[in-house]
Structure 1
Amino acid sequence: MLKTSSKRQQHNILDTLKLDQALLLADQRIQLGLIDQARYIYEDILKIFPNNQNAFSGIVSINTMSSDSMQDSFMKNAQHILDLYHERKLDQALAEANKLLKFFPEQASLYNILGAIYSALQKFSMAIANYKYAVELKPDYAEAFNNMGNALKLNGELHEAIKSYKEATGIKADYAEAHCNMGNALKEKGELDLAIESFKRAVKINPNYAKAYNNLGSTLHDTGDFDLAIDSYQQALKVGSTNAEIYNNIGNTLVEKGNFALAAQNYRRALEINPECEKTYNNLGNAFQENGQFDLAKRSYEQALSINPSCAKSHNNLGVILLEKGELDNALSKYRQALKLESNYPNALLNSSYVYFLKGDFKKGFELYEWRHKQSKNSPTMAREPRRNLIWDRKENLKDKHFYVYEEGGLGDVIQFCRFLPDLEKNGARVTFSVRESLHKLIRTMNSNVILTAQEPEESEIDFEAPLMSLPYLLKTRVTDMAPALSYLNANDNLIKKWQKKLRRNKFKIGICWQGSNTKIDHNRSFPVSLYKDIANIPDVELISLHRGHGEEQLKSIDFQVTTLGKNFDGGKSSFLDTAAVMKNCDLIITSDTSIAHLAGALGRPTWVILKHVPDWRWMASGVNCPWYESVILYRQKVLNNWNLVFDQIMQDIQLMLIN
């Protein structure tokens, strides 16, 4: 007996279609794998035309159709949906998948496809739900677990994503893609060592997996293993990838290593592959800027803006280079453009503060300087933000309140800004200052009752807290309110006498420094010690090196005399005690913009500070007098990178001083 369906439609298909149209529709439904729909059409035809051979043959064909044929039909329709997905016709793909689901409700792979479509539509909760259906139907479905991990990661559920990747790799140990994806999630979670292990497993399984090598390199970069990072990037290129991102990443790592010229070469290689990448032009500009090639940097940032005029980062970067070139108003204009596009852009707000400082508007500068805690890439010396419940509103009475201040910045910053601690005391606060122990003895010479510690007090013990460099903002400091300090630190009397005996008498003693720390912050501030030669050759002048550390090796190659103070000079646990005592024995200090300048100023010693063309914000853009220290005179570089002109002026002034 001929097998027919027990399910009937209320209306006959021939009520709306002609016979040949109905037969054609049934054939199309079979081609699409919609077997039940085809059966209903044939049954409707046989109801009206019981002897129709085509409809009868169709029913026979359906009844004898094998499960393999059904699967083939499903696969054909599933492939059609995947084609739509890859063509980014996502709404159409979703509609077709839901249609197919009605006829194949237990196909795990169809739920996997639906998960991918929902992920592409950024409907991650729906994607996760469909992946869960897929693995319920097929518990060993490694691909669905991997895809679910991707959706969970995009939904911000990193812990659950990692669990899903572990399920995938547990089912399929050699699943390189899942190991790589797990590495990405672990990296985002901050578990860099575990991420590196996952990436290494991925490339061990698949030695030609360029993406995993690239991600491994990126993670090694984040751990500071720059050489290993570059090795991984090079391996990604070696296995055949020509991805611009890899060259871009190599450039980023080379910038961290200080190899700016080679970094620029790699950024340019990336741009050959993808010439419309604003991110790479910004990175190229950064490399040129770090290398002191400001005009090339400016061109790179302008190229980034030509690609995307609405990129706040590019406007900000262009502002930075204009500031380096001394174009303060143009720089501020660029920062304002960045802020129009992104109103609370921390980097642009912070960079604006530098313009106001250089113009002498310290009140506005310190207000904007508070954005330093929000910037996208903090300095290693940047202190944490104060806890919300411990922020002083600048209004509440501080009488008998315990105010906790914690260290921020480098040694010079601590020396410069510790002068504000007594001002908190004058407002009635009991002040505790957490600072490295090596500075305790020096800071204790300040006239205050500040408690020094190297530990952070319990939260319950304090009323307010702030990082050191926020004190001028909290105290509403203006340049006009801030009288330059004659001195606020002192040197140990016994050490002063000790060094007085060791130094030559009847000489005009000049303490010198030429080099700051070997970090980005010292960029373009330092100069070669050889520039002191003409000063050293002045009769009855003795140059005394106050410098220790990076750059000290320059003394071995000079052909003039500089007095050095031995290995034990400031060789103890406390910083600057010997330096302060030697400064007290000097007639003059000449130094680059480094901690030596701040120590000399805080001691009230006659000091000449040599500044680059556009100096650090605290020195302002013009003037010879210093707003921080009464005894400091500023010598400014008039032409970018030309120190000779500055030393010519210094030479004339020393000779005039000696005559007088």
Structure 2
Amino acid sequence: MATVQEALLIAFDHQQAGRLAEADALYQRILDAVPGHPPALHLRGLLLAQGERLEEACALIERAIEGDGTVPDYHSNLGTLLEALGRVEPATDCLIRAARLDPTRVVPLNGFALRRLKDGARPDLAERALRAAIDLQPLDPDLRVNLAQALDWLGQSAPALAELRRAALLAPGDPALLRDLAERLGVEPGEAGEQALRRALRLDPARPSLWDRLGTRHKVAGRLAGAHHAYERGLALDPAGAELWNNRASVLKGQGAADGALAALRIAATLQPASSAIRNNLGDALMLAGRPAEALEQADAALAVTPDLADARLARATALLTLGRFAEGWDAWEDRWAVQAPGQPPRFPQPAWTGEPLGEGRLLVWGEQGVGDELQFAALLPLLTQAGVRCRLECDARLAPLLARSLPAVEVVARTTPPDPRLSSPDIAAQIPSGSLPRLLLRDAADFRRLHPYLVADPARTAAMRAADGPADKRGKPLVGIAWHTTNPKWGRSRNIPLPDLARALHAAGARMVVLQYGDWAGEVAALAAEGIDIAIPPGLDLRDDLDGLAARIAATDLVVTIDNVTAHMAGALGHPAWVLLGHAADWRWLRDRPDSPWYPSATLFRQPAAGDWGAVLDAVTERLCQVAGGVCQVGGEGRESGRTGPPSQPPPIFDGGRSNPLPREVGEG
């Protein structure tokens, strides 16, 4: 008569040969004789699993484990059956126990984790399994790479990066691993990321995505030439890489090559016509090229694909406003909050004002964006007070003295952290950001006629500055306040004019100059003075923080010549003569193709005829200044008398600085 062990071997032979009925009968006889025999329970469980009787199979193997929990196969096979039944959490425990009993079982444990990561189904269980596997085989780089993937699915990017770094240390010559690490580190700050990228490129230089990452690193660091080279290398390997074309365009924009950026983005849009991000970037490039109508088309195309794309919604608004489509533009301008403060609650708890009567309650108007924007939108406050709206204005603390003097019917409160308690007092019935006022008050071009200069400079400081300037000399040289620089990272390249170029142009027209530009320019000013150019920095005046003093300094000049910065807005709001020098694609607030501003009647706009052409602008300014000052100017190397016979290309400015020797004025100006 056969022993139990011999009977098991015979039954297993039947099972292997496909004689399942004979095997099952023999397993039953063994279990009748020895009811809790673990090997028989385990093997009969596997037999039932072959017949798709998975629940019964699991029950038998669980009984086998109760009898002997030290056999790795029992736990491993039970885990496999539980996974097949969809019971993945207990399956995880079984597979981990099997691997702890036999470290070679790390391989099926890793496979189980990868299946959990497929489509991100259960990354939490994958993490548990992989951490257990790493405990058993800490030097296996593949396990760490897979754990990094699980952590990524769980939103734990920093621990995932740490695991990839450990894997790279364990397998320093693995190009695929280094590529994965490099692509992740490619947008991380610090030397480690760049070193990883360069190491990966040495091992795998034909990988376009690595060149793309390297280009991005250079771009973020401001190394535009290096970024351009990296993107070109990537495109040489993958000419159909839409993302590479898109990124190359962003570098070209930063380098001032608007036409090249447009061409690159058109290629990117052709390669990926459904990409809302590329369409949005193409729209931005068209705005920079001074083509707002086409930019609007691209913004609409981007929003057709991704209606909630915040950048495209804001781009659409600025294009509409640039085109003078004010009703649509101001409505769309409300989308700026999706870009500037996504997901943040309003700054103040009071209900948003939509133009309804407020009774005895006050309206809180709070300044937003930059100082220039606050000055621009504050021009609408007199319209509110004239309509009987009681206003409390929160503004940049540097503007508070100037606005308090200029808007006596408005209670002005300086912006502080935390906000002034008056801004949450019960008498405030509603609140509105100042940039939302045009939506209610400037629905069409005719509405702008209600705007008037509203700023009032400190008369005592203005008079003192005029006295300190001294009388104009007998040749009637005008005193021109100048500003030429902005630190805005996006617009600086297209707006800034070199000080020597501006100063020499105005000097050629016989102007005296006073600096209105904040910052340390003493060296450049001294160098120009050494050339015999009459230019001065106002002594003892902080042009950045003493904005009330800046207003007085502006009012004490005959004319302001400035780029698009806060000086332009302040001069315009004072009603002071201002010549604003604009790039070819000026900001939306200056509209397009017109020499005047509906916001500031005293401003005259000089626009670049082509991107980067400040020479033509400065020639026009020099000639115009000679024309109205009655002198002889040097334009293009030739002396020109100011009395030209034809009409000027733009209307002459109004000079009324109140100085002892003002420039000549046209009949009827006032």
Partner of 1:563: 535
**Is 1:542 equivalent to 2:512 in the alignment?**
yes
Q: Which moved more, 1:161-170 or 1:614-623?
A: 161-170
Partner of 1:451: 413
Partner of 1:655: 626
CA shift digits 1:431-489 (9 cap, x unpaired)? 55554433333333331213333135589757644444233235564432123644222
- Deviation of 1:132 after TM superposition, in Å, equals 5.9
**Is 1:626 equivalent to 2:626 in the alignment?**
no
**Pick from 494, 498, 507: which aligns with 1:528?**
498
Q: Using a 3 Å threshold, how does the CA distance of structure 1 residues 399 and 338 change in structure 2: closer, same or farther?
A: same
**Is 1:215 equivalent to 2:184 in the alignment?**
yes
- Deviation of 1:101 after TM superposition, in Å, equals 9.8
- Check the 8 A contact 2:509/2:626 in 1, yes or no: no
Partner of 2:76: 107
- Deviation of 1:610 after TM superposition, in Å, equals 0.8
CA shift digits 1:600-639 (9 cap, x unpaired)? 1122210010111121111001211101112111111112
- Deviation of 1:597 after TM superposition, in Å, equals 0.8
Partner of 1:412: 372
Q: Which moved more, 1:260-269 or 1:394-403?
A: 394-403
CA distance in 2, matches of 1:292, 1:627: 29
Partner SS, residue 343 of structure 1? coil
CA distance in 2, matches of 1:294, 1:134: 59
Structure 1: 5+ residue stretches without partners: 9-25, 48-65, 74-94, 119-124
Q: Using a 3 Å threshold, how does the CA distance of structure 1 residues 276 and 488 change in structure 2: closer, same or farther?
A: same
**Is 1:610 equivalent to 2:608 in the alignment?**
no
Q: Using a 3 Å threshold, how does the CA distance of structure 1 residues 151 and 255 change in structure 2: closer, same or farther?
A: farther
**Is 1:438 equivalent to 2:398 in the alignment?**
yes
- Deviation of 1:205 after TM superposition, in Å, equals 5.3
CA distance in 2, matches of 1:657, 1:263: 48
- Letter matched to residue 406 of structure 2: M
Q: Using a 3 Å threshold, how does the CA distance of structure 1 residues 245 and 38 change in structure 2: closer, same or farther?
A: same
Q: Which moved more, 1:381-390 or 1:552-561?
A: 381-390
Partner SS, residue 600 of structure 1? helix
CA shift digits 1:318-338 (9 cap, x unpaired)? 233333333333332232322
- Aligned counterparts, 1:132-281, within 5 A: 134-135=95-96, 138=99, 207=172, 210=178, 211-220=180-189, 229-238=193-202, 240=204, 242-281=206-245
**Pick from 278, 282, 297: which aligns with 1:318?**
282
Q: Using a 3 Å threshold, how does the CA distance of structure 1 residues 432 and 501 change in structure 2: closer, same or farther?
A: same
Q: Using a 3 Å threshold, how does the CA distance of structure 1 residues 46 and 618 change in structure 2: closer, same or farther?
A: closer
Partner of 1:592: 563
Partner SS, residue 236 of structure 2? helix
CA distance in 1, matches of 2:430, 2:249: 41
- Deviation of 1:386 after TM superposition, in Å, equals 2.7
Partner SS, residue 604 of structure 2? strand
- Check the 8 A contact 2:58/2:81 in 1, yes or no: no
CA shift digits 1:25-83 (9 cap, x unpaired)? x9xxx9xxxx8464534839999xxxxxxxxxxxxxxxxxx99xx9xx9xxxxxxxxxx
Q: Using a 3 Å threshold, how does the CA distance of structure 1 residues 482 and 278 change in structure 2: closer, same or farther?
A: same
- Deviation of 1:370 after TM superposition, in Å, equals 2.0
Q: Using a 3 Å threshold, how does the CA distance of structure 1 residues 426 and 566 change in structure 2: closer, same or farther?
A: closer
> What is the aligned-residue identity percentage?
22
- Check the 8 A contact 1:179/1:198 in 2, yes or no: yes
Partner SS, residue 514 of structure 2? strand
**Is 1:510 equivalent to 2:470 in the alignment?**
no
- Deviation of 1:258 after TM superposition, in Å, equals 3.3
Q: Using a 3 Å threshold, how does the CA distance of structure 1 residues 206 and 336 change in structure 2: closer, same or farther?
A: same
Q: Using a 3 Å threshold, how does the CA distance of structure 1 residues 608 and 599 change in structure 2: closer, same or farther?
A: same
CA distance in 1, matches of 2:522, 2:250: 29
CA distance in 2, matches of 1:402, 1:170: 66
Partner of 1:55: none
CA shift digits 1:87-111 (9 cap, x unpaired)? xxxxxxxx9x99x999977328976
Partner of 2:437: 471
CA distance in 2, matches of 1:309, 1:638: 32
CA distance in 1, matches of 2:379, 2:244: 43
- Deviation of 1:518 after TM superposition, in Å, equals 4.9
CA distance in 2, matches of 1:266, 1:329: 33
- Deviation of 1:342 after TM superposition, in Å, equals 2.8
- Deviation of 1:137 after TM superposition, in Å, equals 5.5
CA distance in 2, matches of 1:550, 1:229: 36
- Letter matched to residue 336 of structure 1: D
Partner SS, residue 219 of structure 1? coil
- Deviation of 1:234 after TM superposition, in Å, equals 2.8
CA distance in 2, matches of 1:463, 1:146: 63
- Deviation of 1:586 after TM superposition, in Å, equals 0.5
CA distance in 2, matches of 1:276, 1:330: 24
CA distance in 1, matches of 2:87, 2:381: 56
Q: Using a 3 Å threshold, how does the CA distance of structure 1 residues 182 and 433 change in structure 2: closer, same or farther?
A: farther
Q: Using a 3 Å threshold, how does the CA distance of structure 1 residues 273 and 492 change in structure 2: closer, same or farther?
A: same
Q: Using a 3 Å threshold, how does the CA distance of structure 1 residues 45 and 259 change in structure 2: closer, same or farther?
A: closer
- Deviation of 1:280 after TM superposition, in Å, equals 1.8
CA distance in 2, matches of 1:194, 1:233: 19
Corresponding pairs, count: 574
Q: Using a 3 Å threshold, how does the CA distance of structure 1 residues 174 and 410 change in structure 2: closer, same or farther?
A: farther
Structure 2: 5+ residue stretches without partners: 27-38, 47-51, 62-72, 631-663, 665-670
CA RMSD of aligned residues (A): 4.9
- Check the 8 A contact 2:362/2:389 in 1, yes or no: yes
Partner SS, residue 480 of structure 1? helix
Partner SS, residue 562 of structure 2? strand
CA distance in 1, matches of 2:571, 2:471: 21
CA distance in 1, matches of 2:221, 2:586: 24
- Deviation of 1:583 after TM superposition, in Å, equals 0.7
CA distance in 1, matches of 2:462, 2:588: 33
**Pick from 615, 618, 635: which aligns with 2:606?**
635
Q: Which moved more, 1:386-395 or 1:363-372?
A: 386-395
CA distance in 1, matches of 2:373, 2:243: 33
- Deviation of 1:142 after TM superposition, in Å, equals 8.1
Partner of 2:453: 487
- Letter matched to residue 446 of structure 1: S
Partner SS, residue 368 of structure 1? helix
**Pick from 338, 341, 356: which aligns with 2:320?**
356
- Deviation of 1:167 after TM superposition, in Å, equals 6.9
**Is 1:336 equivalent to 2:300 in the alignment?**
yes
- Deviation of 1:643 after TM superposition, in Å, equals 1.4
Q: Using a 3 Å threshold, how does the CA distance of structure 1 residues 45 and 262 change in structure 2: closer, same or farther?
A: closer
**Is 1:284 equivalent to 2:256 in the alignment?**
no
* TM-score normalised over the length of structure 2: 0.71
CA distance in 1, matches of 2:150, 2:585: 43
CA shift digits 1:184-212 (9 cap, x unpaired)? 89899999887876666565555555233
- Check the 8 A contact 1:214/1:236 in 2, yes or no: no
- Check the 8 A contact 1:150/1:181 in 2, yes or no: no
